[in-house]
Chains A and B, each alone.
Chain A
Amino acid sequence: EDQVTQSPEALRLQEGESSSLNCSYTVSGLRGLFWYRQDPGKGPEFLFTLYSAGEEKEKERLKATLTKKESFLHITAPKPEDSATYLCAVQAHSGGYQKVTFGTGTKLQVIP
């Protein structure tokens, strides 16, 4: 069974304090890994897609990287507006169709 584990569950940073969020996965035949940002009470906002080990994507203060077993979301010099829950999801080929499995997220709080 496909599994996606995110760590830590919660992270509290001072403004400007860089850190990384981890997403480890166990799937057969990874087709893609996705990162989302979710604000309280709202739908997740798509951030990145990564397809193969070694790939990196950047957007403002966020950089996502992918290895064969995990992905990292690096946050450089975060600001309070980066506070949100960050979700990771993997797409794998399963039973003739593409299945997407979500992790439970990392809740990030950036303190001014």
Chain B
Amino acid sequence: EAGVTQSPTHLIKTRGQQATLRCSPISGHTSVYWYQQALGLGLQFLLWYDEGEERNRGNFPPRFSGRQFPNYSSELNVNALELEDSALYLCASSGGPGAGEQFFGPGTRLTVL
């Protein structure tokens, strides 16, 4: 069974640009979560989508947004990039709102110059 996949693996942008990150969950999983992990720091919760709806978001500015598609894949958009947005962005999926175990993808390394 394929795990969570993310693309691209690496992304280099300059300040002020927009970045789009993509995630495909495990087959059958309806919930997708996005996390930011800055170098040497813990996981910071960004967004949670389930059944195409945004269910919760973390303490991040509105320039972090996303969506979930009918096939449950998801996209994270970061507008007006700032240097401090440089981080590993992790996507996880679970079987739904009641399923606690989250399974993570390999991440997208975003570097903002």
Of the candidates A41, A97, A99, A100, the one having the most CB atoms from chain B within 10 angstroms of its own CB is A100
A43 to chain B, nearest CB (A): 3
A22 to chain B, nearest CB (A): 16
- In the complex, which residues 63-112 of chain A have their Cβ closer than 8 Å to any Cβ of chain B? 87, 89, 91, 97-100, 102-105
Per-position binary interface string of chain B over residues 95-113, scored 1 when its CB falls under 8 Å from any chain A CB and 0 otherwise: 0011111111111010000
Per-position binary interface string of chain A over residues 42-76, scored 1 when its CB falls under 8 Å from any chain B CB and 0 otherwise: 11111001000000000000000000000000000
Contact residues in B for A100 (Cβ distance below 8 Å):
33, 45, 100, 102
Q: Is the interface of B mostly helix, strand, loop or mixed?
A: loop
Which residue in B88, B90, B100, B107 is a CB contact (below 8 Å) of A98? B100
The verdict on A25 contacting chain B, using a C-beta distance below 8 Å, is no
The verdict on B42 contacting chain A, using a C-beta distance below 8 Å, is yes
Q: Contact between A46 and B55 (Cβ–Cβ < 8 Å)?
A: no
The verdict on B43 contacting chain A, using a C-beta distance below 8 Å, is yes
Contact residues in A for B4 (Cβ distance below 8 Å):
43
Known A-B contacts A87-B43, A103-B42, A105-B42; the reply to A46 vs B100 at CB < 8 A is: no
Contact residues in B for A31 (Cβ distance below 8 Å):
100
Q: Contact between A44 and B90 (Cβ–Cβ < 8 Å)?
A: yes
Which residue in A43, A45, A49, A87 is a CB contact (below 8 Å) of B100? A49
Q: Contact between B100 and A102 (Cβ–Cβ < 8 Å)?
A: no
Known A-B contacts A97-B97, A102-B42; the reply to A42 vs B102 at CB < 8 A is: no
B92 to chain A, nearest CB (A): 8
Q: Which are the 4 A-B pairs with shortest beta-carbon distances?
A: A43-B104, A91-B100, A104-B42, A32-B100
Q: List 23 A-B contacts (CB under 8 A).
A: A31-B100, A32-B100, A32-B101, A41-B107, A41-B109, A42-B107, A43-B104, A43-B105, A43-B107, A44-B43, A44-B90, A46-B101, A46-B103, A49-B100, A87-B42, A91-B100, A97-B55, A98-B99, A98-B100, A100-B33, A100-B45, A104-B42, A105-B42
